[in-house]
Each structure stands twice: as structure tokens, then as C-alpha cells.
Amino acid sequence: MMKKYLSKLILLLIAVMLPLVLTSTLEQHILFLIVIWSIAGIGWNFIGGYAGQVSIGHALFFAIGIYTPSALFHLFHVVPWVSMVIGVILSVICANLIGIPLLRLRGPQFSIATMAVVECMRTILINTKVLGGSAGIDFLNKKVNPYLYMQFTNKREYYWVALAFLVAAIAIASHVDKSKFGYNLRCIAGNEMAAESVGINTSKYKSLAFMLSAVFVSVAGSLYAQYLLYIDPYISSTMSVSLMIVLVVVMGGVGTVYGSIIGATVLVMISQYTRIYFGGTGTGIDLILYGGLVIIVVLFLPHGVMPLLERCVKWIAALFFKKKAPVTEEAEVSEAEKKGAVN
């Protein structure tokens, strides 16, 4: 147990020190995006990974998380630390309200319904002038306290703040993974009718998982808004955002605690570097390569990258740290009997 916690502490220290080693703007930008999509992926994993309800509409909660601190700062000059909490509350209320009808659906019907909700949200944001409409909101203010209003001049600060939220998300996800709540969600994902037959209130547990996932995705959206300091409906509430959240979990490993981090690392690096090296051609080669690489990984790693990494770690540990068991007297006698039987 001590080795387990020590290894996690070492990984955390490495994560904290990364922006001090990777000093370029691009590298720190990639680090921040990895953390943001990891938080969103951990949130989606509660409903999509554990409960087995594939939602393609989590851009709704991402948009609420983005717009709440942005609009409150733009209209009333509310600090983002407070407005972020308000965004979480609004996301939970929204998840509860839309979850009542949507979670009655199963399979593809549920996924399609969540897609429709995102499109409705995008249309509302485009036509709401108070929230900037299609032009969006620019809420940069250089005169405010950077730490109070989360408007830093260096990307490292954004990364460290987001990393703190990621650590909290991992701690909560680890607790849920081993709790009765997590086991009940897995039972629902396996067979919902069987779960109901053993006394699990499937509607209640699916609703709780939906609301819990909305919390993390909303936080990720709020942090992303503070990083950009500009928002519009095309950044926050499009199908590409929802698909990115889903792909992060699928790529890393559905139903795992750390799979979202692995998936976010793979996807963000592929998307950013293909855009950098091939995006300037103007022919969409970066998008073709990005989509092709994602398809290849999903086809050849159907359970995600995380199980493969776990097997590699176990193989390396067995190769370098496996000790030969001490030979007892009983084992020596047994070995001698075997040799005698052969002779």
C-alpha cells in the first residue's frame, strides 16, 4: 500500500514539474488541453463507462460551464471561483431535468436524444443576444487581480489550477470505482433488467451518475473558458465537443479511472501535431490523418490504451522485480520424489 501511494505521489510531482521542463508555449498549451479533456472524460465515464448509457450530448454541460462564469463576469463582474460553482449547480439541475425523460430511453435512442439536446442548446446560444449571440463574449480585463479572476499571463498557472481539479476528480472517481455506487452502476451497464430484479433502483442510479458526470464536464468547461477568455456557441456546444469527450474515454479505456488521462494524452497530441504539421496545406489533411489514426487505435485496441499499458507495466515488473520463491523442505522432498518417479 505504501508503494502504491508513493508511486502516485511521484507521478503527481512529475505532473507538477512538467511545465517547468516543457517551457514552450505549444507544449504548455498541449498540457493544459490534456488536463481539461481528462477532467471531462472522467465525468463522462460515470454515465457512459460505469452505467453504460452512451451520451453524445455532454457538450451541453460543457457549454453551461463555459457560459456561466463568462456571462456573470461580463454582466456582473462575478469572480470565476464563485461563478464556477454556480455553473456546476446549473449543470446538475439541467442534468436532473433532462435526465427524467431521456434516461427512460435505452441504447441508440438515448444517444440520439442527447445529440438533439446539444443542437437545441447551440441554437439558443446563437440567438441569445445577452450572451453575445453568434459573436460570442470577450471578457478579458487586464486591470483585475489575475489570481482572483483567474486571468493569468502565463500558461503554467492555468495548467496548475486545472491539475488541482484533475487530482480531485481522480480521487472522487477512485472512490466511486470501489464503492457500492460504482458496483451498482456496473450492474446496470451489464443488464438493467437483472439489476432491477435484485432491487437496484436503476432510474435513481442512472440519474445520479448523469448529474455527477455533469459536475466534472461543467468544471472542465469553466476552466477552458478562463483559459480562452473568449467564448462563442461554436466553441462550446458543438457535436465535436461531445465526440471529443466520448473519444477520450473510449481511447483510454471505458470504465477505468485513469483511462481518460491516457486517452486525452493520445488524442490531444495527435490532433495538435497533425494540425501543426499538416494544417497549413488548406486541404484538410490534418483532419484526415487525425481521423485515420483514431480509427486505427479504436479498431486494434477495442478496450482502449489503458489495458495495454497495464499489461506492459505488469510484464516489466515481472521481468525486473520478480524474485525466486524460497525453497522449503516440502518442496525439496516433492522435487526428489518427481525425479525418482522419472528415473
What is the pLDDT, as a whole number, of residue 280?
63
Residue 142 CB coordination number (10 Å) = 7
Helix, coil or strand: residue 125: helix
Q: Which of 85, 114, 69 is nearest to 229 (CA)?
A: 69
Mean pLDDT rounded to a whole number for the chain: 87
- Provide the grid cell at 274: 497533425
- Provide the grid cell at 119: 443542437
Q: What is the pLDDT of residues 55-75, one digit of tens each?
A: 999 999 999 999 999 889 888
What is the pLDDT, as a whole number, of residue 141?
76
Of the two residues 320 and 22, the one the predictor is more confident about is: 22
Please, which pLDDT band fits residue 322 given cuts at 50, 70 and 90? low
Residue 120 CB coordination number (10 Å) = 14
Q: What is the pLDDT of residues 123-161, one digit of tens each?
A: 999 998 888 888 888 877 767 888 898 989 899 999 999
- pLDDT (average), residues 81-102: 95
Residue 151 CB coordination number (10 Å) = 21
Q: What is the pLDDT of residues 146-205, one digit of tens each?
A: 889 898 989 999 999 999 999 999 999 999 999 999 999 999 999 999 999 999 999 999
What is the pLDDT, as a whole number, of residue 211?
96
What is the pLDDT, as a whole number, of residue 295?
81
- pLDDT (average), residues 5-21: 92
Which residues, in sequence order, are bridge partners of residue 230?
138
pTM of full prediction above 0.85: yes
Most confident of 41-45, 284-288, 304-308: 41-45
- With a pLDDT cut of 70, the percent of the chain lying above it is 91
Q: Is residue 101 within 8 Å of residue 114, measured between CB atoms?
A: no
- 277 pLDDT above the threshold of 80: yes
314: amino acid identity, one letter: K
DSSP 199: T
Q: 135: Cβ–Cβ under 8 A, 6 or more apart, which residues? A: 232
Q: Is residue 103 within 8 Å of residue 204, measured between CB atoms?
A: no
Rg for the chain, CA atoms, rounded: 23
